[in-house]
Amino acid sequence: MRFNAKDLALLAKRPSGCFDKEGKLKICRVVGDEKLIEPRERWCRLKGNLLFLMKNKSSEASEVVILERCWVVEFKSKTDVSIILKFQSGEPDLYIEAASKPDCEAWAVALGEANSEGLRNKIQQLRRLIMEIKEERASEEARQFLPSSQVDSLGEPQFTSIQRIANEPKLEFSLACKGLVAATRDRKLNTFIQVSVVHPAEHILTRYSSTEIVEGTRDPLFLTGVTFPPEYPIYEETKIKLTVYDVKDKSQDTVLTSVLPDHKEPRADVGRSFLGCATFRVGDLVKSKEQQLTLTLRTSDGGKTVGTIEVNLVKMGEFEDGEMDHITTDAQDQKCALVRECTAPEGLSGKDNLPSLNAVLKNPICKLYRFPTSDNKWMRIREQMAETTLSFHVPKELINLHIKEDMRRNQELKDLGELAPHWDNMRKSVIAHCDQMLSMYQDTLAELGKHTGSSFKSSCSKGEKTLEFIPINLHLQRMHVHSPRLKDALYDVITVGAPAAHFQGFKNGGLRKLLSKFEAERRNTGYQCIYYSPENTAKAKEVLSNINHLQPLISSHADLLLNSASQHSPDSLKNSLKMLSEKTELFVHAFKDQLVRSALLALYTARPGCVLKKPAVPRSSAEESDDLKHQNHPSQIKRQDSIPHHSEYDEEEWDRVWANVGKSLNCVIAMVDRLLEKDNSSKTKEGESDPSAADCKVLHAGGDWYEQLYPLVITLKDCMGEVVTRAKQSMAFVLLQELACGLPQCLMLTLRRDIVFSQALAGLVCGFIIKLHTSLHDQGFLQQLHTVGLLVQYEGLLSTYSEEAGMLEDMAVGISDLQKVMFKVIEAKSEDFLPIITGRREHYVIEVQLPAKMFELLPQEIKEGKLLRMYPVLFNVGINEQQTLAERFGDTTLQENINQENLELLKEYYNLFTEKMPPDCLPHFQEQNDLKGLLENLHQNIQAKRRKNVEIMWLAATICRKLNGVRFTCCKSAKDRTSMSVTLEQCSILRDEHQLHKDFFIRALDCMRREGCRIENVLKNVKCRKYAFNMIQLMAFPKYYRPPEGTYGKADT
């Protein structure tokens, strides 16, 4: 071979950065098994296919080895740090010894890829990657479904649709490889498969998903399968490309095993290397006799065979026939190799699909797994995640209700009539502030009305003002388990960011602290108003609500009564009277409260020209003279701890006014009874007068029914109108005091509470609807729902340090406020199945609409409109590094108090359940002692006050599932800590309820965290497939809450 010695000498002396690899090695020549001389230390530099051997780093090259027509032989011993470089020419082999095993392996790979054949493979691989990147840039963003218009255009007659069951995935298959060939001999492979889709019309390659990484075997069997949801445009003509990669360093290959943002591709020599690929048509798999394909893996140029890949069609509800002969497991690292494959199912069987939730759920993401059981059988798991349209629907409905309620309140304040100057100025100030808040609510609703696109709020948007009413990252997380010897099971968890007012911030704490501080200031600070307790204020709002609800109903029933009288219909007259009597009695009883009487007196004293002579309730002379002094001078009125009494004010007048309503009703009843009696009697003589109607004005017997009832009904309406006017004014005066006592803080706290409640309610409505749909055939649950109510258990992962303590305070109040929510199930009258929200701030009713066929499955009590109660409970355990700081240097009493308070609420629900429900009504409840033991264990763990006691959350979640409750998991953004908790819960359920093989617990956990729905959730939120943890943070996390290597790093949260 001819070469230029000077050029080679110059090349050998170039700076270190110019070489592919360099370092110290011990080298000698070998003939057979004998070394010609003892290995000598040399400084070695690799550039392309040239290996320079030098005595030291600064000396000239003493020898150049051309790395062509040679191969590397690695020794199998774990302790051996040497390799042999063999040449086809027959010249002596080159013995190379490194300082360590990793260094030896690195040199083996570098030398094996240095020849021209290795370079050609790299060039082919780079060409392939360039083509993929070009094609993907023209395609849609990875993992996003095609627009419906495009799907329609693709679904032309020449494409054959795949037959499937409604609401089931279009296609699911599992993967395994055999006989993979490594780039260098004797190298252990760490492989995964990347799945890409080529649509027949577009001819564009779109990366779709990946399997997990299987370590240390040339025959990997992958636990993560591939699933295409019902909405995905896939046909028999669609081609699927399977690309196998060897991962060299998992930390370098941080989640590059799946879709990358902005279509970026890693360098071929960093993190992973290409092994081979294969392509098949979907129709070939679906129509294959054994529902299985065996494909040959080839290199990028299509020449070299590097192994085979098996594709097995999967259908939930059917099992793979083969059993695992044995499982080889590294007990420490949980690296498993399944020695024998499972055969494909022989036949296909149909399965009842779950009720449709298309009106509520959107953009589902599906993942498929197969895990071994303790008896070496296979179980299949389908993991699903979906966002919900309720994220925006519920807050918009709620804000609309707030606007109507506040407009009604402002009008009631204006209708108070003439007030003394002090009170009138106060009213003007309150109305001005309320109008500002009302305008803000209207602006927010208008902005939300403009929102288009995604139906969820990402974690990056939690501080946006226009979206502050929207829950953060609200999703349904579902696990469907089909195991060999157990019944199919469905496990749902709602994941959502902690309900909190992020835009307003947490500098002064959250709602729990702010409300307590505000109430204390109202009590102890001298305001220019009358103090009413929160209970009295709530009662005033309830009275106003009852007035607004009952008055139109009574008027309507009174008109129906007159209409029945005009038609001379006895039956209709009886029914109308019955309804009128019921509503009027409710109306009368609504005002049997001391608050109305005392508020009327307070309003009387606030009128112009009111002069108080002496109080009706005896008090000390000092108090009396002080009160009289200030009451005679409105400009100096001081805050009063009790309602004033006026000796000249006739307190009995109010009693007479509202009692007149009852008397007027009695007159109507007596007249109807008389008319019906006369109608039934054949006598011409009039019967004797009814004593109860002695005070009533009775017309001539021969008069018409309508003429005789009309004046009585008018009197009833007039009496009711007078009561309504007085009661409305008195209750509006109470609300005036509440608002005036704390302007503007009172309105800001109301706004903050509305924001937090809106986020919490959206999650609750989503959880209730999904639970109802999935339990329509569970008569025990339906009986429990209308007899006891629904348990809603929230798992919080917030710390009690810094801002997260404020978030936890907001969350605790927001979840507690859900107790004032009631649900009602109605039959849908149209194709719009979205829930309807009615009510006011202290009481909401959510009307859930069901199609007629589903509605008929409900018990009679629910169909008749019985209101269904909610029992929300919250248990929080901080698990991150901030909680470590709180436990060592801060305060954890907030968390302890919340857990203790909610334990009492949980016990209250359990006691109510045991009282009202038969012991055998629920499948889980057959073990009553078990539940008692769990509650006692939960009580002990809460009392123990141990650091990061995550057993509290596990116990609370187990109790919730056994009591047919709805599960929620929350952290700051429902992205990172929530993902760790949800995946741990899923794997724990598989282990405890479905006999997951104990040696596969960690591997199953890593599969779900690395390639499951939760890493897709991270991508949706921050456009990066990394959990937002670093190594320092994870050192503070409990063991099982740490993600696998390569799935975390720096990312915005």
Output the DSSP codes for 879-939. Answer: -SHHHHHHHHHS--HHHHHHHHHHHHHHHHHHHHHHHHS-TTSSSGGG-HHHHHHHHHHHH
**Residue recorded with tokens 């990946």:** 210
Range in 327-341, 392-406, 852-866 the model is least confident about: 327-341
Higher pLDDT, 161 or 921: 161
Beta pairing partners, 366: 384
Burial profile 152-167: b = 16 or more Cβ within 10 angstroms, e = fewer = eebeeeebeeeebeee
Helix/strand/coil for 630:
helix
E strand or H helix that includes residue 1008: helix 1001-1011
Question: Of 97-111, 351-365, 706-720, 979-993, which has the strongest mean pLDDT?
Answer: 979-993
Model pLDDT for residues 855-887, shown as the tens digit of each residue: 999 999 999 999 999 999 999 999 999 999 998
**Cβ atoms < 10 Å from Cβ of 7:** 9
Mean pLDDT over each residue of the chain, to the nearest integer: 81
Query: What is the reported pTM?
Result: 0.75
In eight-state DSSP terms, residue 1036 is T
**Separation of alpha carbons 7 and 686, rounded Å:** 136
On whether the CB atoms of residues 477 and 1012 are closer than 8 A, the answer is: no
78 pLDDT band, cuts 50/70/90, is: low
Structure tokens at 424: 């009138």
Span 821-838, average pLDDT: 92
On whether the CB atoms of residues 865 and 803 are closer than 8 A, the answer is: no
Q: pLDDT at position 166, please?
A: 61
For the chain, the distance separating the N- and C-terminal CA atoms, rounded to the nearest angstrom, is 60
754 pLDDT band, cuts 50/70/90, is: very high
Model pLDDT for residues 608-626, shown as the tens digit of each residue: 876 544 333 333 333 333 4
Percentage of the chain exceeding pLDDT 70: 81
**Separation of alpha carbons 565 and 572, rounded Å:** 8
pLDDT at residue 639 greater than cutoff 70:
no
Give Cα 384 distance to the centre of its chain: 12
Q: pLDDT at position 170, please?
A: 85
**Catalytic position from the list 70, 971, 1007, 1013:** 971
**Cβ atoms < 10 Å from Cβ of 251:** 10
User: Is the peptide bond preceding residue 872 cis, with omega within 30 degrees of 0?
Assistant: no
Q: pLDDT at position 909, please?
A: 96
Beta pairing partners, 875: 795
**Separation of alpha carbons 796 and 809, rounded Å:** 11
In this structure, what is the dihedral angle of CA atoms 714, 715, 721, 724, given to the nearest 10 degrees? -130
Nearest by Cα to 193 from 221, 232, 228, 234:
221
**Separation of alpha carbons 348 and 313, rounded Å:** 10
Beta pairing partners, 44: 23, 53
User: β-strands 843-850, 821-827: how paired?
Assistant: parallel
On whether the CB atoms of residues 19 and 47 are closer than 8 A, the answer is: yes
Higher pLDDT, 746 or 809: 809
143 pLDDT band, cuts 50/70/90, is: very low
In this structure, what is the dihedral angle of CA atoms 194, 200, 201, 203, given to the nearest 10 degrees? 40
Q: pLDDT at position 889, please?
A: 87
Span 146-170, average pLDDT: 58
Instruction: Work out the burial of residue 45: count CB atoms within 10 Å of its CB; fewer than 13 is exposed, 13-18 middle, 19 or more buried.
Output: buried
Higher pLDDT, 248 or 763: 763
Higher pLDDT, 598 or 920: 598
**Catalytic annotation on 434?**
no
pLDDT at residue 924 greater than cutoff 70:
no
Burial profile 112-127: b = 16 or more Cβ within 10 angstroms, e = fewer = bbbbeebeebbebbee
pLDDT at residue 907 greater than cutoff 80:
yes
For the chain, count helices (H), then strands (E).
Answer: 27, 29
Beta pairing partners, 26: 41, 97
Higher pLDDT, 779 or 201: 779
Helix/strand/coil for 34:
strand
Range in 213-222, 262-271, 299-308, 998-1007 the model is least confident about: 262-271
Span 380-394, average pLDDT: 94
Span 788-792, average pLDDT: 97
On whether the CB atoms of residues 434 and 406 are closer than 8 A, the answer is: yes
User: β-strands 50-54, 21-31: how paired?
Assistant: unpaired
Q: pLDDT at position 193, please?
A: 93
692 pLDDT band, cuts 50/70/90, is: very low
In eight-state DSSP terms, residue 117 is H
Helix/strand/coil for 707:
helix
Nearest by Cα to 788 from 912, 891, 664:
912
691 pLDDT band, cuts 50/70/90, is: very low
393 pLDDT band, cuts 50/70/90, is: very high
**Separation of alpha carbons 676 and 668, rounded Å:** 12
Structure tokens at 702: 């021969």
